Amino acid sequence: MSSSDSQPRFGQSVKGLLSDKVGSCSGDVIALTRQVLKGSRSQELLGQAARNMVIQEDAILHSEDSLRKMSIITTHLQYQQEAIQKNVEHSKNLQDQLRHLLK
Amino acid sequence: MAAMGEKAAAMDSISRAPAPPSALNLATDTAVRGENTCPEGATEPTTTAPKKPSNNNDGGVETAEEATEPAEQDINELCKDMFEKMAIFLQGELTATCEDYKLLENMNKLTSLKYMEMKDISVNISRNLQDLNQKYASLQPYLDQINHIEEQVTALEQAAYKLDTYSKKLEAKFKKLEKR
């Protein structure tokens, strides 16, 4: 930390020295705060995290889109299965008729 | 004798002279000279401000006390103002990081909501697919019947071909017999 000359200078009043000291102390506190913030690298890390999140957002939206399409396809498969179920019930009669024919 | 008396007075005045100025006293003296309009010398403070104790030398030596000005009435206000503004500044410096954290927190919350929606969708899909698998499993006997039907139809087709061949042979024999 910077320290001004504490020895009284010629022609400088105590009041002036005091105000200088207060000013230098406040400057030191500000510099210390900034150094602590800079040393923690929180700004860089948080910024990098935000950037990565933005990059991931595209993949997340794509995944959601794919899931919705899959749910639509599943619904269509259900419809098709119901249609198959309905038509397959005729196969029993068909089988009986064929059995008679082949006797 | 008079000369002796004068010399003694001079010696007394010398003995009563103020102590050799230290650093503090020099500063205080200059402060006194710069600020007070009082005459120089060993003066006592004329105000009621708190005084600094001076360095006491050996007895018999006069020491001067610092003449301080009374504190300004608004100095407390100024100090308070200074510290408040310092606090606001420091809070502002730290608020930037807090806002970054809040931003990340909001982004994380939105992403978690998105993932919860996706989880619901995928749970629905999984349930529907399980039902579909069960229904397709229940359709298996029918599919076996269809296979059986196909085999029967193939056998029927073979029989139809044989019948067709036999009937053509029969027709040819009949025509031969008719010609005779």
- Domain tally for chain A? 1
Q: Would A63 be classed as within a structural domain?
A: yes
How close B39 gets to chain A, by Cα (Å)? 18
The boundaries of the domain holding residue A47 are: 14-102
B149·A94 Cβ contact <8 A: yes
Torsion of CA B35, B40, B45, B47, to 10 degrees: -40
Q: What distances in angstroms separate CA A40 from CA A44, A46, B112, one per listed residue? A: 9, 11, 27
**CA atoms within 13 A of residue B170's CA, in its CB half-sphere:** 6
How close B104 gets to chain A, by Cα (Å)? 6
Q: Would A8 be classed as within a structural domain?
A: no
ipTM: 0.71
Q: Would A1 be classed as within a structural domain?
A: no
Poorest-pLDDT segment among A85-94, B23-32, B59-68: B23-32
Residue B14 has pLDDT above 60, yes or no: no
Q: Would A47 be classed as within a structural domain?
A: yes
* DSSP structural state of residue B110: H
What's the mean per-residue pLDDT of chain B?
A: 75
B30·A11 Cβ contact <8 A: yes
Residue A48 has pLDDT above 70, yes or no: yes
Q: How far apart are CA B73 and CA B83, in angstroms?
A: 17
pTM for the whole structure: 0.55
